[in-house]
Amino acid sequence: MTSNFVAQDEQFEEKVRKSFARQRAMETLGITLEKIEPGRIELRMPYNEAYTQQHGFLHAGIVSTALDSACGYAAFSLMPKEAAVLSIEYKINLLAPAKGDSFIFTGRVLKAGKTVSVCLSEAYSENSGERKLIAQMTGTMMTVIGREGVDQ
């Protein structure tokens, strides 16, 4: 992963790690933060039968959960020091069943705006080391400054 963006906040990596650690859903689902670059994030989750749909594939919503966090933190990494991030919307296309030993989720910023950022993220399954694209997301993230109850 290489990135064309420069982070405004030199402490972006620490800021992302701290906020990610506060997302209880990540810990509960076993999603881990693998890489952080300005405008780029990589997450990983092992297969977990507890989060499957009726055919034993990882539920599309769980794939969305990881992709949304990947998008959000990619955008957050480029935001000013005092900003928080909220998801405005996202859309996911499911390309193949989410079956595999583990899953990789990459998010990157397409446009970093003052108020609104747009990100792309992709989900891959890994089976015995073979990687396959299983889902693609585009999302819009909002820079929130000074709103009560919405901190980093």
Binding site for a second copy (CB under 8 A): 19-20, 22-25, 28, 49-55, 59-62, 64-69, 84, 86-97, 110-111, 115-116, 118, 120, 133, 136, 138, 140, 142, 149-152
* Distance separating alpha carbons of residues 152 and 141, to the nearest angstrom: 14
* Distance separating alpha carbons of residues 64 and 86, to the nearest angstrom: 15
For a second copy, give the closer residue by CB, 37 or 99: 99
For a second copy, give the closer residue by CB, 114 or 128: 114
For a second copy, give the closer residue by CB, 38 or 68: 68
Are 43 and 108 in contact, with CB atoms under 8 Å apart? no
Are 53 and 61 in contact, with CB atoms under 8 Å apart? no
* Smallest distance, a second copy to C-beta of residue 69, A: 7
* Smallest distance, a second copy to C-beta of residue 129, A: 20
* Smallest distance, a second copy to C-beta of residue 97, A: 7
In sequence order, what are the residues at sequence separation of 6 or more whose Cβ sits closer than 8 angstroms to the Cβ of residue 125?
A: 96, 98, 99, 100, 102, 103, 131, 132, 134
* Smallest distance, a second copy to C-beta of residue 32, A: 15
* Distance separating alpha carbons of residues 127 and 109, to the nearest angstrom: 27
